[in-house]
Structure 1
Amino acid sequence: MVVSARRKVLAHNFCLLLLTMASAGDVFEHGRHGTSLFKVQEAGRCCSPPADGRANDPPKPLLIAAPCDAGEYPVVLFLHGYLCNNYFYSQLLQHVASHGFIVIGPQLYTVSGPDTTGEINSAAAVINWLADGLSSTALPPNVRPNLTAVTISGHSRGGKVAFALALGHAKTSLPLAALIAVDPVDGMAVGKQTPPPILTNKRSSLRVPAPAMVIGSGLGSEPRNALFSPCAPLGVSHAAFYDECAGAACHLVARDYGHTDMMDDVTRGAKGLATRAVCKSGEARAPMRRFVGGAMVAFLKKWVEGRPEWLDGIRERPEVAPVFLSVVEFQDEGCSS
């Protein structure tokens, strides 16, 4: 009887393990929702003002990925990298949206210098527009945004801007639900940060008022060739951002992939060609994109929807990811685990 009971417990635990692995792996695949992807032009580009007299157009052009199914969904802001186009991330945005999120990618600028202050203010203006403006955009029928709080995310310099917003460098009208930085970069090197500097070179100094996820690329700190500097230099990239997070945070690094490998398979134009020519890359973008999208979804499911099993599954079994993870570290309320 004792042996039989033990076998039942072992069998039950084994089944739970299989379910955890399956659910964790599910986030790296397209979700159950069909998605729509559409653009919304910025204020001033409309032929005529809205009938009610309100300026419902956003302050910057937007690329929006949303579920097609009726329902209310949390909102995620995704900020593009330096000199990139927001549509370079269309496949990533749709991956996240397919799991039940409205993902908004503003085009913050066309050309920009080293100072990120304008980007920070522009991103804050988009957040402040959401409450009154998002519902009036061309969202699919019966799709409603949940704006009780917003998640701010971004790639490369957009990751730095996301941290700046979370730290209060510009005033925003919506509470922060979570922060996700994808291979964030704060300048060319330690001591050569772009203004305003975010990293302080002091451990646990960034007191973000929400849980933070930092995703890194193993090849981002390596130069593509002798002509170019690394796209995510050591000391001002993902590891430094994670080390300086003071609260609940996690850090995942894809060893064999580069700084732009989460972008679309095809990125056209001069800027699109530069994403491959300047940064060292892995063999293909799809695995890295699936990983980044899945990691974002798992983090959002835990901290926005209160469903921790996906993120916990990745934490316990990193091999479910479609890439090899060289770093998997978590700190809960500031305590390393």
Structure 2
Amino acid sequence: MTSSARFVAFLAYYYCLLLFTMASAGDVFDHGRHGTSLAQVQEAKTTRCSRASVAGPPKPLLVAAPCDAGEYPVVVFLHGYLANNYFYSQLLQHVASHGFIVIGPQLYSFSGPDTTGEINSAAAVIDWLADGLSSSLPPDVRPNLTAVSISGHSRGGKVAFALALGHAKTSLPLAALIAVDPVDGTGLGNQTPPPILTYKETPLHVPAPIMVIGTGLGELPRNFLCPPCAPLGVSHAAFYHECAAPACHLVARDYGHTDMMDDVTTGAKGLATRAVCKSGEARAPMRRFVGGAMVAFLKKWVEGRPEWLDGIRERPEVAPVVLSVVEFRDE
């Protein structure tokens, strides 16, 4: 083969490899190959004779799972401040369609500034999974509980960090941590207890890989009456700054703090998700991005398949939103 022929063959190979990388990276932003089920699981009821019951979880759950028989990794997703877990049903099903069981506990209906109760409740849910989750899944669907991944949005992202840092002990090892536009208070110097950000040079030593997803509009007020939903200094950039490797940071430029929620969020709380936070034009692209980024990260660090996350890193334009930040802190 002549040198020119070898060069042409190399270009063809590189072009095919590039197309494969773009396609595989983009695949995670679409619904996966699995059909999904979505089930509500009621919390355990106490009786006069017993203070607790193993029949149900310690908090109500929304469980998204593949319909196909098999064993799948488990992800716990923690809702944002004063939100309902079912506001994320489309996001949870997106992740589940790619081969994950996603558990969304309803940690509370109303809560004050202290997140200690939420941290303890989330830990109790994780401890319940080993004994109780299998009965809440479709037939022949089995959870792989050798480790569990923890994710959360807004204040739920702070709670996810708190769990990973050992603010409450859990019985299952941590596989990965994903914080979606996490918030640690109402502003710099006004963290909600217990504070997570330290503002020190020493990084937060989480015993697992970390993904931080941010929004470009979350740090901006919707109007002069509503403060930012993810204030500067206590939001995604501050969290990523304190993360030890391995970690990554992706920011959707034109989307807001609640734009990964369902298209329709009902009730007073649902209306507030649109009325209080500055938002982008439509939720579907942001939801596809968040779901796909979560899947790509979990595929790498839970299943040992890095090609989807590597594809996003090399070709961020495959994402359904414009990314203003693409940062990776390697091991």
TM > 0.5: yes
Return the alpha-carbon distance in structure 2 between the equivalents of residues 204 and 269 of structure 1.
43
The alignment partner of 1:222 has SS state of coil
Q: Distance in 2 between matches of 1:40 and 1:203?
A: 43
Distance (Å, rounded) in 2 between the aligned partners of 1:310 and 1:45:
45
By how many angstroms is 1:19 displaced? 0.2
Structure 1 CA distance for aligned equivalents of residues 215 and 6 of structure 2: 46
| 1:45 Cα deviation from its structure 2 partner | 7.4
Shift of 1:5: 1.3
Q: d(CA) in 2 for partners of 1:306 and 1:300?
A: 9
* Whole-angstrom CA distance in 2 between matches of 1:280 and 1:204: 33
Shift of 1:236: 0.2
Counterpart AA for 2:9: K
**Structure 2 residue 122 is matched with structure 1 residue 126:** no
The offset of 1:204, in angstroms, is 4.6
RMSD: 1.3
In structure 2, the residue matched to 1:164 is: 162
Shift of 1:225: 0.2
Structure 1 segments (4+ residues) deviating >6 Å: none
Aligned pairs for 1:102-117 (under 5 A) are 102-117=101-116
- Quick one: which of 292, 295, 317 aligns to 2:293? 295
Alignment partner of 2:16: what SS?
A: helix
Name the structure 1 match of 2:82: 83
In 1, the alpha carbon distance for the partners of 2:237 and 2:220 equals 14
SS in 2 for 1:178: strand
Read off the aligned partner of 2:263 and give its amino acid letter.
D
Are residue 93 (structure 1) and residue 92 (structure 2) matched? Answer: yes
- 1:188 aligned counterpart, secondary structure: strand
Q: Distance in 2 between matches of 1:54 and 1:232?
A: 38
Q: How many residues are aligned here?
A: 327
Q: Which runs of 5+ in 2 are unaligned?
A: none
> Paired residue for 1:30?
31
| Structure 1 range deviating more: 195-204 or 106-115 | 195-204
Which of 306, 316, 319 matches 1:318? Answer: 316
* 3-state SS of 1:197 partner: coil
Identical aligned residues as a percent: 83
TM-score (normalised: structure 1): 0.95
Tell me if the contact between 2:152 and 2:180 (Cα under 8 Å) persists in the aligned partners: yes
Contact map agreement 1:261 1:282 (CA 8 A) in 2: yes
Give the AA of the match of 1:253: V
Residue 210, structure 1, aligned to residue 208, structure 2: yes
Contact in 1 for aligned 2:211/2:247 (Cα 8 Å) = yes
Which residue number corresponds to residue 44 of structure 2? Answer: 43
1:4 aligns with 2:5: yes
CA contact (8 A) 2:186 2:231 kept: yes
**Aligned 8 A contact 1:208 1:247 in 2:** no
Deviations 1:82-106 (A, max 9, x none): 0000000000000000000000000
1:74 alignment partner AA: P
2:34 & 2:195 partners in 1: Cα distance?
A: 39
3-state SS, counterpart of residue 133 of structure 2:
helix
* Structure 1 residues 171 and 312: alpha-carbon distance in aligned structure 2, compared to 1, 3 A threshold: same
TM-score, with length taken from structure 2 = 0.97
Q: Distance in 2 between matches of 1:212 and 1:57?
A: 30
- Secondary structure of 1:130's counterpart equals helix
Residue type at the aligned position of 2:128:
W
From 199, 204, 214, the equivalent of 1:201 is: 199
